[in-house]
Structure 1
Amino acid sequence: MRLPATRLLSACLFSAAAFSAVPALAATIHMIPQGDLKILDPIQNPSYITRNHGYMIYDTLFSQNAKGEVKPQMVDTWKVSADQKTWTFTLRSGLKWSDGTPVTAADCVASLKRWGAKDVSGRLLFAAVGEIKAIDAASFAIVLKAPFGPVLEMLGKPSSNVPFMMPERVAATDPNEQIKDTTGSGPFVFKRDEWVPGSKVVYVKNPHYLPRQEPADGLAGGKVVKVDRVEWNYIPDQNTALTAFRNGEMDVYELPPADFITPLAGDASVKLATDNLGNQGWLRPNHLAAPFDNPKARQALYYLVNQDEYLAAAGFPQDYRHKTCTAYFMCGSVNETAAGATPYAAGQNLAKAKQLLQEAGYKGEKIVVLAPSEPPVQAAAAMVTIQNLKKIGVNVEAQAMDWSTLLARRSKKEGWHIFHTFSVGADVFSPAVNAYAQANCDKAPSGWPCDARLEELRAAWVAEGDATKRKAITDELQTRMYEVVPYVNFGQFFQPMAYRSNLSGVLNVGVPVMWNIEKK
């Protein structure tokens, strides 16, 4: 790939600046992160860059392995009462915070309470909790008002908001306020004194961290750190980032744009890692704004979609696109089902989309689509939707803006009809963790779907402990989702993490974790 001379110059200038402040270390990993780390609190903020920061410095009670199975992490043993209402957990001995003080059950209780006040899954769990209390320094109990099926799945939730454990003094911070103390019990320590917002984040090996004895497996197992230092070097210009990575100045490129995948795949010095589920793209209508306050108009959007068209527009090579997926909870996951999808299985049908919009009462009113200039996936998806709406005679107004402006606009209940986003599979694969599957009216995220039956089914799903019965509820729930259409799936895709071949032990988990990696 040939780069303009000005961009090559900027790449060289970046290189000089990046390495002048800190002496080179043989055991240092340099990573180009997906964005600039601005918020350090992974409970207060669900962004993936903040989640990734959380995995560097915090640990969890339970974690998922590569198969999606929940395994103990900070927990040593646990037991459940015969009535399934009392869960008792005992921590592993020897756990310490990065300041050298012991981890206690009281720390975990406070951390869970703070997480439960912010996270969609945490709120579901804590709605069933009667009491959560420390029994002694190493043990605590969760006492439920009624049985709650996926207790361990919630405690081992792999993505935003992850229930990271913090010291009690930190977890006492109001959930709506950001923490100031970044003491954790995870594999690395955040070097606040070397943090340069907009440029660099530094982590060093935590000398007090006690990994499990099992081999690393997904996000579970032993988090053994084999390097001394990790630096996130934020490079906003993607062409400059590509040059720095291909020149060997950077070791890991977290999310290279889709059109970089093919040249990187052909580079013998580079390896690409993808997780098993990938990502799911969403077209989210505003359920409060006509005509999308009518379910027929929202169903029309499904007939508007050709998933391959969306993913091709975003630049993903064929090998990095899933075949057409009609599962709300991810194809390839334990909750994959085709229930309710039959009307849409044949794919795009523009005539049907136009018919349903007319039946919903659409008469040529302006439809506002929020059209971001970046990130690339959202920007491309918006353009495809705009063109297809125009094909069926819709009066479309594309409002161009950057992503930060879009996030602010979509939080307002008026003035827009459609926006696009995507989520990693770990945030979508079950009714308990999928925030955008909520239909609890004003409490739902931007778009605000409102459907009592859908909420009843979600509640039934999380209360059911039997896997066979839960599968039947999943089918009924997805069928209802196709009727209500909280959002439209515009495709499942895989955006790999790139790393140089002198690294070994890289884990393909959808999160750029830095434990288990050796650098030759």
Structure 2
Amino acid sequence: MGIHFKPGLRVQRLFAGQSTMRLVAAGMMVLTAGVAHAQEKTVTAVMHSGLRMLDPIVSTAHITRDHGYMVYDTLVAFDGDGVVQPQMASWEKSEDNLTYTFKLRDGLLFHDGAKVTAADAVASLERWGARDGAAKFLMAATDSIKATDETTITWKLKEPFPLLLDVLAKQSSVPAFIMPARVAATPADTAITEYVGSGPFEMVESDFQPGVKIVYKRFEDYKPREEAASGMAGGKVVNVDRVEWVSMPDPQTAINAIMTGEIDLIENAQIDLLPVLEASPDVTVEIRDKLGYQGFARMNFKHPPFDNVEIRRAAMTALGQEQVMATMIGNPDYYWLCGAIFGCDTPLGDETGSETLQAGGDKAKAREMLEAAGYDNTPVVIMQPTDIGAMGTVPVVVASELRDAGFNVDLQPMDWQTLVSRRASMNKPSEGGWNIFTSFASGVEANTPLVHPILPSTGDTGWFGWANDPELEALRADYLKATTPEQQKEIAHKIQARVMDNVIFVPLGNYAFVQVRSNKLTDMLPTPVPVFWNIKLAD
């Protein structure tokens, strides 16, 4: 799909008041660009959020992760069966399980034409290891990671770490993307400003409009693996020239656009509008991820009132999953109540401690708990995203439930990317900080303690909200060292109980992301993370 150009209107608006010669020349330039793009195969997608933060190591936002997969590649990756496969590198393991040797495959280039080297990989892994929760456990067990020649990375451990490859291949929050060493030298708490990647697409920086539009073009010198694409592994063959992500905060506008062929994909369609789409012969409505997504509320442990665990417990007691899901999704065919932090109907699923959540909350009990905890009417600042569809209703429900329980609530609306930036602030809520935000985690990143993004509880170095819980961290360390499924399950159930008791976060129910795509778009991989290699676009 190309750019729809209206030369008269566009030129009139952009160049009113200029000379006729300049106006005509400018119009011809824009028209030429429009015709050129019309001759290219361009996939236009409305993602779940606009993109502003471009560093997929600093940010855990899903839209930033999705951007990361467009621009960067990883050493290893999970295939469609959940098995770790070589991606940028193959590996060998020593008999004592203490040394892993990774060998970069031939032909790997960065977008600036430079070869990808082992030194680049080591620098990238070190920066990633300073940010990601699971990677921090891996780094604590690491003796050294060195580039022993231009294509060889030697990873030596102090002690066996059975899940090393699983951590390295994790699909979300935060993937181990490989960047040039000079970019990876950026401090781990500082966003990068250069976006040269190792992946199948190049970012077109001149077209980037933060929160509005981002454009990617096929990286002509990317060398895919020979294997067929499977999951996040295999050959990342790009069959289109360009991919454009455009923002359409109004769901009805996006629906109209895909029905008229102006866009090709809506990553997350609003549920109450699905009947119109399901009746159309030109689009396909589908659920891409059977594990779904888990909504949650996260409280800020650094500032009153939620620095007090008794007040956190009172807040959780006031909340009910049914109210949240019914308001957000509406159609029960697309949501389910679930108090298991690792997901229901999963090997580690356990719902201990979620009884009041699934029963609709208990406002009277919450009020009693709040009074007993000595709540002094401190305002509770709740951030509300206004541009990601039904997700914006969740803070409204949470605010109402907490008010009914006696909390003094200050609901503050903002766009999602502003929220993503603001949640990183440790300031007091009265000085630009916050007390509660709501979000969601995908099943693929929330089904084990290995990758669950919200669990890291190491204070100021942990996830937003900065929980400090040494007992939980010890349990997570035990899980990563467990060698049998039975041991893992036992530890995971202890983690469930600890999370609910200390109110590390509040699970608000599970739901499906429903994708809508034009029938001209085919061969899209069934991955939880939306990817744009392998897909084909019919003329």
Asked if Structure 1 and Structure 2 have the same fold, meaning a TM-score greater than 0.5 normalized by the shorter chain, the answer is yes
Deviations, residues 468-520 of structure 1 (Å, cap 9, x unaligned): 32222111111211211101101111122221011111123233311111112
Amino acid at match of 2:280: D
Deviation at 1:26, TM superposition (A): 5.4
The residue aligned with 1:126 is: 139
Among 505, 508, 511, the residue aligned to 1:490:
508
Amino acid at match of 1:58: Y
SS class of match (1:118): coil
Choose 213-222 or 365-374, whichever is displaced more: 365-374
- Structure 2 counterparts to residues 370-381 of structure 1, below 5 A: 370-372=382-384, 374=386, 375-381=388-394
Contact 2:319 2:357 in 1 (8 A): no
The residue aligned with 2:463 is: 445
Contact 2:173 2:453 in 1 (8 A): no
The residue aligned with 1:309 is: 323
Deviation at 1:63, TM superposition (A): 1.7
Among 184, 188, 195, the residue aligned to 2:201:
188
The residue aligned with 1:7 is: none
The residue aligned with 2:246 is: 233
SS class of match (1:449): coil
SS class of match (1:204): strand
In 2, distance between residues paired with 1:100 and 1:461?
42
The residue aligned with 1:208 is: 221
SS class of match (1:141): strand
- 1:513 partnered with 2:531: yes
CA distance 1:406–1:201, shift in 2 (3 Å) = closer
- 1:423 partnered with 2:441: yes
Contact 2:304 2:378 in 1 (8 A): no
- 1:72 partnered with 2:86: yes
In 2, distance between residues paired with 1:469 and 1:478?
14
In 2, distance between residues paired with 1:401 and 1:370?
9
**Unmatched segments (≥5 aa) in structure 2:** 12-29
In 2, distance between residues paired with 1:202 and 1:290?
42
Deviation at 1:333, TM superposition (A): 4.2
Among 448, 467, 481, the residue aligned to 2:499:
481
CA distance 1:197–1:481, shift in 2 (3 Å) = closer
The residue aligned with 2:76 is: 62
The residue aligned with 1:4 is: none
In 1, distance between residues paired with 2:364 and 2:53?
46
In 2, distance between residues paired with 1:301 and 1:255?
29
Contact 2:300 2:307 in 1 (8 A): yes
- 1:264 partnered with 2:277: yes
Contact 1:187 1:223 in 2 (8 A): yes
Contact 1:98 1:207 in 2 (8 A): no
CA distance 1:331–1:71, shift in 2 (3 Å) = farther
Amino acid at match of 1:492: N
Deviation at 1:408, TM superposition (A): 5.9
The residue aligned with 1:27 is: 41
In 1, distance between residues paired with 2:476 and 2:58?
24
Instruction: Give the TM-score normalised by structure 2.
Output: 0.85
Contact 2:124 2:181 in 1 (8 A): yes
Identical counterparts, % of pairs: 37
In 2, distance between residues paired with 1:447 and 1:44?
15
**RMSD after superposition:** 2.9
In 1, distance between residues paired with 2:83 and 2:345?
14
Amino acid at match of 1:34: H
In 1, distance between residues paired with 2:487 and 2:112?
46
The residue aligned with 1:87 is: 100
In 1, distance between residues paired with 2:45 and 2:422?
32
SS class of match (1:22): helix
The residue aligned with 1:224 is: 237
CA distance 1:519–1:143, shift in 2 (3 Å) = same
- The number of residues matched between the two structures is 505
CA distance 1:503–1:435, shift in 2 (3 Å) = closer
In 2, distance between residues paired with 1:167 and 1:199?
27
Deviation at 1:331, TM superposition (A): 2.8
Deviation at 1:155, TM superposition (A): 0.8
